Amino acid sequence: MTKDLILFGDCRETLKKFDEKARVCVTSPPYYGLRDYGTATWIGGDPNCNHRRDTKVKPENCITGHKNHDTMLGVGDAIYKSVCEKCGAIRQDSQIGLEETPEEYVKEMVKVFRLVRDNLTDDGTLWLNIGDSYYNYRPGKGQGLVKQSVSKTNQDLPSKCNRRGNKLQGYKEKDLIGIPWLLAFALRKDGWYLRQDIIWSKPNPMPESVRDRCTKSHEYIFLFSKNQNYYFDVDAIKEPTVDGRGLKRKKSVWSVNTKPYKDAHFAVFPEELIKPCILAGSEEGDLILDPFMGSGTTAVTAKSLNRDYIGCELNHDYGKLIMKRIYG
């Protein structure tokens, strides 16, 4: 398989096609319940129809086995098959992040990163950025079932995942769900070594209107290793001392501003956040993997550090953006 390659499609399938091992995986997957990235497709019906979805979920259209579907569509194009009320075409979407429950989201993430582990060298590492969500059940008001507290930037993003859903057991109104740690513990249980939690501190966080808690200004980066012993170059990420006369070991709180990319209509993973992950986990000439490429910042950063890249992306339109960022 050629290096510096983007494989288009669901990463749960494209990762199975890899025949080379990456040294490092750096990625930021879709956050739970935050955005619909517009990857749905219509099957059958009239191809010239301006499709319009039914407003009610029918049990026979559910593909998960859930029984209570007296809700608006949208929880899941990843969960439901919806039908065009005009021509009968079926709308399907496999994108991750639109699952009905946090537990189902974590389950899908475990599947993805199990494949990632299979595609890493024995001394490889995974650096995973993930944000959290608040539970916001508002029956009858058409509000989102889950409310994202902080996005990666405050720039233009894909359409909100507007949805109503069933009340989730075990969660109270305003609860912080704890998605990062639910996922971290699930990955550890699945065989990964959970080595460190790194705090991404944002000096320019997205403004919030809530008045009963502090403004959320951080996300997590988890460092996982495939095996107990793994490659980690601690010297490659040392930082200048306060007096500038020497170097010191990098600490576990990283202060990095969010930065927009003018041609992207979604959140952009900052290069300054990715560089230490790649520098610590790999050497020049190594292969860097990102199963959720998005705007391609991992690939851009890998090339700037004389590494090769390989990755997956569900949306073909983002491929042009990635190529433009890398090659101009």
pLDDT 10s digits, 186-243: 999 999 999 999 999 999 888 888 899 999 999 999 999 999 999 999 999 999 999 9
- Could you give the CA distance from residue 58 to residue 47 in angstroms, rounded to a whole number? 23
- Could you give the CA distance from residue 307 to residue 4 in angstroms, rounded to a whole number? 9
Q: Which of 30, 200, 177 is nearest to 112 (CA)?
A: 30
Check whether residue 56 and residue 23 sit in a common domain.
Answer: no
Give how many domains the chain has, as a whole number: 2
Check whether residue 46 and residue 114 sit in a common domain.
Answer: no
Q: Which two tokens stand for residue 180?
A: 């990062």
- pTM for the complete prediction? 0.79
264-314 residue pLDDT tens: 655 578 999 999 999 999 999 999 999 999 889 999 999 999 999 999 988
What is the DSSP-derived secondary structure letter of residue 20? S
* Contact call for residues 123 and 230 (beta carbons, < 8 A): yes
**Residues pairing with 148 in the sheet:** 133
45-57: b (≥16 Cβ within 10 Å) or e: beeeeebebeeeb
85-135 residue pLDDT tens: 777 777 665 678 778 788 999 999 999 999 999 999 999 999 999 989 888
Residue 75 pLDDT > 50, yes or no? no
Check whether residue 87 and residue 122 sit in a common domain.
Answer: no
Check whether residue 76 and residue 110 sit in a common domain.
Answer: no
Range of the domain at 176: 5-33+99-327
Phi-psi region of 317 (alpha: psi -120 to 50; beta: other; left: phi over 0): alpha
Check whether residue 208 and residue 277 sit in a common domain.
Answer: yes
pLDDT of residue 327: 78
Phi-psi region of 276 (alpha: psi -120 to 50; beta: other; left: phi over 0): alpha
R_g of the chain, CA atoms, integer Å? 20
Check whether residue 67 and residue 147 sit in a common domain.
Answer: no
